[in-house]
Amino acid sequence: MRKCSLDKINLLFKEIAKNAELYLPQDQTDGSATYKKWEEGSVWSNVLNTVRSPKDFFFPQTEDLMAFKTEGKNIEVIDTRKALDDFVIFGVRACDVKSFDILDRVFLSEPVDSFYALRRSHGVIISLACGKPSETCFCKTFGINPAEPTGDISAWKNDTDIFFEANTQKGKDLLEKLIDLTEECDDTAVVEQKAKIDAIMNKLPLKDLKTDAFGGGKTAELFNAPEWDELSGACLGCGTCTFVCPTCQCYDIKDFNTGNGVIRFRCWDSCMYSDFTKMAHGNNRLTQKERFRQRFMHKLVYYPENNDGLFSCVGCGRCLVKCPISMNIVKVMKKIGGKKR
């Protein structure tokens, strides 16, 4: 384990940025934070979670897939991909690190998504323990420990220092480059930080939220639950929950005529939208109730059924904060999970 004085943190950022693009949470004017590229003068935010998760680095909101040019009956297919430089994402919370495991099972399973795989191969994740978990956090419900973030490098911070421990070869290689700005240390301060984080987690309002009523094999039991009518009644179908969620992976593929050819691109989509997966015959989920149910059944039943019991939620709490009608996965779990059938 190694540590760096917080007084030298900008020197450490500068050293990282010599060999790779560095991104870290930075404050916005509304008091929230977002990941931005580090430059001289950039200030690392103390906000617990960014508004949107760092999944954008591997699965961006929009990306070009290919281009076409036509001349008469001839069609030229153009590969629009560019060489990708190495990059480092600093300050990723344990919940967001876990979200990458969920996305990997989607995009790295056969057939492998080469766009996603390329970004994963170039990215290095420095994860950071949550010093002060929020009342909207419920990551422990899904087996995630905010005191034990598992990126390529794990980090913990107290009032004076930041501590690093490499978990992968990528992490070891990066930490080796920072050896002049860090010093070897024992884990005494880190153990203290872990204890403080655990104490906070044990006092949070959602600490007792359980997944016992959900998981693979529960489709028949939960699909026609009468509670779906009440829960979905106020849903606006705005898709905010899907856009701030670190594990949502739905996308659409569209063609755009530039006037000089066609660009094919993909962009995030939402199962909460009325035109999601709409085909010639129409939409297979005609009501907001059906679309609402699909989102939460996928998180809590369908995904774990097909992925060794792994739930497609990491308890980051973003949907609790951002939903305009205060409807979220916690309310669904309490309402449906609290009923014995």
Determine the pLDDT at residue 273. 86
Spatial CB neighbours of 195, under 8 Å, sequence gap ≥ 6? none
Describe the crossing of helices 9-19 and 169-177 by its angle, rounded to 10 degrees. Answer: 120
End-to-end CA, the chain: 50
Q: Which pLDDT does position 276 carry in this prediction?
A: 75
Q: Is the peptide bond prior to 146 cis by the omega test (within 30 degrees of 0)?
A: no
pLDDT of 71: 84
What tokens does 242 get? 């899907």
User: How far apart are the C-alpha atoms of 216 and 241, rounded to whole Å?
Assistant: 23
- Structure confidence at residue 259 (pLDDT): 85
> Order of strands across the sheet with 262-268?
74-78, 62-71, 262-268, 251-257
Per-residue pLDDT tens, the chain, 341 aa: give them: 999 999 999 999 999 999 999 999 999 999 899 999 999 999 999 999 999 999 999 999 999 999 999 888 888 999 988 888 999 999 999 999 999 999 999 999 999 999 999 999 999 999 999 999 999 999 999 999 999 999 999 999 999 999 999 999 999 999 999 999 999 999 999 999 999 999 999 999 999 999 999 999 999 999 999 999 999 999 998 999 999 999 999 999 999 998 888 999 999 998 888 777 666 565 567 788 999 999 999 999 999 999 999 999 999 999 999 999 999 999 999 999 876 54
pLDDT at residue number 283 = 58
Q: List, as one string, the DSSP characters of 194-245.
A: HHHHHHHHTTSTTTT---TT-STT-HHHHTT-THHHHHHTT-----HHHHH-
Domains in the chain: boundaries: 2-58+83-201, 219-249+269-336
pLDDT at 35: 97
Question: pTM higher than 0.95, yes or no?
Answer: no
